[in-house]
Amino acid sequence: MNHIVQMKGMNKYFGKLHVLKEIDLTVEQGEVVVIIGASGSGKSTLIRCVNGLEEFESGHLEVDGQALAPKGGNQQVLAEIRKEVGMVFQQFNLFPHLTVKKNIMLAPQKVKDTPQVVANATAERLLERVGIGSQADKFPSHLSGGQQQRVAIARALAMEPRLMLFDEPTSALDPEMIGEVLDVMRELAKEGMTMMVVTHEMGFAREVADRVIYIHEGQIVEEGKPDDVFDNPQNERTQAFLSRVLVR
């Protein structure tokens, strides 16, 4: 199989705080890896390192065959990596002054010099794909939270990424809106999109993940197939965490 992400001995600090400790993690093409753990354990920081939103201090990080150097490194390499990696955040980060369609068209036109007619057609196709084709000409403020997050997913997909990163994409949503966003993510997984997902949605993790990673205080302490991690965790820290978050 082809490695899309490969981390070896990766370390990240915030000042004196050692946030990620000797991380070894490989993500294969077409794999869905779900990262779980308590708040503050380093989950979001880990995936933010993948597209250079956070710099790591030591170790090795390779994304889609390109090595990203510690402490920023080569900006040209980082720019190339970001063309291949889409990211969806907790907050939607849509431009309020642009219509839904224009939000999606912007990055392909600016970053990949996509002609306007092509970007327009791509935006319309992706909005249909995420189930909100009728909202194309509205402004973000006129959409529900769930609809805005689906726009954010469509915007990331417009760059035709080889890898999608999701940083707790449902945490800012009302409970009744969570399902519609998870449904879109399920469909992406079925279509073979490579995904790294940080989430507290354990049912989604069990259903969709090829592999579940549990992080505790900046270290990967357990990983495996969802049924193994959820039904028979080996590490006592994983056991304690799951006992708190799973409904028995």
* pLDDT one-digit tens code per residue, 195-208: 999 999 999 999 99
Segment 161-183 shows an average pLDDT of 92
Least confident range from 111-115, 126-130, 236-240: namely 111-115
Q: What is the pLDDT of residue 111?
A: 86
Q: pLDDT category, 1, cuts 50, 70, 90?
A: low
Residue 192's closest CA among 213, 158, 163? 163
Find the largest Cα–Cα distance for the chain: 55
Q: pLDDT category, 69, cuts 50, 70, 90?
A: confident
Encoded tokens for 68: 């990203």
Q: pLDDT category, 96, cuts 50, 70, 90?
A: very high
Percent of the chain with pLDDT over 70: 98
Segment 104-132 shows an average pLDDT of 93
Strand segments (E) across the chain:
3-14, 17-28, 32-36, 58-63, 66-67, 85-88, 163-167, 195-198, 211-216, 219-224
* Degrees, nearest 5: CA angle 121-126-130: 155
Q: What is the pLDDT of residue 155?
A: 95
Helix/strand number for the chain, H first, E second = 9, 10
What is d(CA 51, CA 160) in angstroms, rounded to the nearest whole number? 15
Show Cβ contacts of residue 10 under 8 Å, excluding neighbours closer than 6 positions: 20, 22, 23, 24, 49, 56, 58, 59, 60, 61
Query: Is 95:103 a contact under the CB 8 Å cutoff?
Result: yes
Q: What share of the chain is helix, strand, coil (3-state, %, to 5)?
A: 40, 25, 35
Q: pLDDT category, 77, cuts 50, 70, 90?
A: confident
Residue 171's closest CA among 91, 53, 86? 91
Sheet harboring 3-14: ordered strands across?
A: 17-28, 3-14, 58-63, 66-67
Q: pLDDT category, 233, cuts 50, 70, 90?
A: very high
What is d(CA 144, CA 241) in angstroms, rounded to the nearest whole number? 32
What sign for the dihedral angle of Cα 205, 175, 124, 90? negative
Q: What is the pLDDT of residue 29?
A: 95
Q: pLDDT category, 14, cuts 50, 70, 90?
A: very high
Cα distances (angstroms) measured from residue 47 to each of 27, 33, 205, 223: 12, 11, 16, 16
For residue 72, pLDDT beyond 80 = no
Average pLDDT, the chain: 93
Show Cβ contacts of residue 99 under 8 Å, excluding neighbours closer than 6 positions: 136, 137, 138, 139
Reduced to 3 states (helix: H, G, I; strand: E, B; else coil), residue 142 is: helix
What is d(CA 221, CA 243) in angstroms, rounded to the nearest whole number? 16
